[in-house]
Amino acid sequence: MPKIVTPLTDTQVKNAKSKEKPYKLFDGGGLYLEVTTSGGKLWRMKYRKLDGKENRLAFGAYPEVTLSDARTKRAEARKLISDGIDPSQDRKDKNLSNRQAAANTFEKLAREWHTNKLGSWRESTARDTLRRLELDIFPEIGSFPIGSITHQQMIAALRKIEARGAHEVAHRVKATCARVFTYANQQGIENRNPAADMRDVLKPSKAGHFAAITADELPAFLAAMETNDARLFKPTRIAIRLMLLIFLRTSELIETPWDEIDLEKGEWVVPWHRMKRGKLTINPDTSDHHVCLSRQALELLRELHSLTGGSGFVFPNQRDARKPMSNGAILMALKRMGYQNKMTGHGFRALAMSTIKERLGYRHEVVDRQLAHAQKDKVVSAYDRAQFLMERKTMMQDWADYIDEIRRSE
């Protein structure tokens, strides 16, 4: 028969004194208190593993771990044993899992997700996505294990973005975070994805068009360009003038290398892979874009060549000529001119579209093709390129002359 053990009392545990040699006070069920020669009191449990070998578990020291606490731990261990689980191995597995969970921080998983997406994103998308995370999210929850992040912590991070008035950015960042949480779950790293169901937490983002001046506001804008009270550098002023004259997208303009432009022939052809639709990962548009230069635009390019012709880029970065002008340079210039939230780089395209149709009487299809907008019908798209080129050249010269006429009338 198994030896009957009288359970310990709190008084016995409390009053146990050290002796010349360590000794044990048994509570039954394998649980005992080991009293060391220095007076330490350590809870232990003796049990047999599945292979029959004897093993021991440590439950901590008294009084941090009380007699009641030790008995609870014993019960939990005996339950594991009855289920065929070695409690010692179970503890090791849980410790490993906890260490892995602590190592799987939001920032670590977000950077992994970002790296995996690089092959399917445009360079600007990859750059902007990571920048928003680095600015707004990593400082707030980046160091937290991803499985530990709560709704309240996620909300607090997003509301800091809202607090500066960036409501649309807050919504975009929320969507990005939700995708990071989903990525972690797909990797077997469990989390609650607190960003996934926040439909009513953030303030609604007002959808709208890019800020753009109207045709009636164009004279004042041209006057501001002439006076140059903002003291813009010459290349920056030329960049804004060219955006007005040829209305390329900002990135398509500032990232232009000189070898795309033939100043002698007055031709500028942007290769398809630099165009917005050419950068699509699925069914990219592989047609090059003819800019159609007016006489005034060509004069500006020749003037610019005397300033930056020694660089690979038409608009080199002031700090590093091996790189193009920063995308934010145009917005900063417009801000210094007094047009913050009134005009954007994309706004020049909207201005041209509306004004050329309304004031110069050109058909929508012709202006649309000059804007390099995609045609849904590929047959129509091919026809447009073949039939509209000469009409577009005439239109662009008329547009430049119209702008000059406004400038002279001021």
Under 8 Å between Cβ of 315 and 213 = no
Under 8 Å between Cβ of 95 and 75 = no
CA dist 103 and 146 (Å) reads 9
Query: Of how many residues is the chain composed?
Result: 410
- Report how far apart the first and last C-alpha atoms of the chain are (Å, whole number): 112
Give 90-106 as a DSSP string: HHHHHHHHHHHHHH-BH
Under 8 Å between Cβ of 294 and 400 = yes
Taking each helix axis as running N to C, give the angle between helix 167-186 and helix 123-132, from 0 to 180 degrees, rounded to the nearest 10.
100
390: left (phi over 0), alpha (psi -120 to 50) or beta: alpha
CA distances from 371 to 8, 35, 83, 294 (A): 87, 85, 71, 15
CA dist 140 and 154 (Å) reads 9
CA distances from 58 to 34, 41, 61, 170 (A): 10, 11, 9, 49
Residues 64, 70, 71, 73, CA torsion sign: positive
For residue 33 the two structure tokens come to: 């208190």
Q: Residues with catalytic annotation?
A: 249, 276, 346, 349, 373, 383
CA dist 61 and 266 (Å) reads 86
Show contacts of 263-267: CB within 8 Å, 24+ apart.
Answer: 263/298, 263/301, 263/302, 263/305, 266/293, 266/298, 267/293
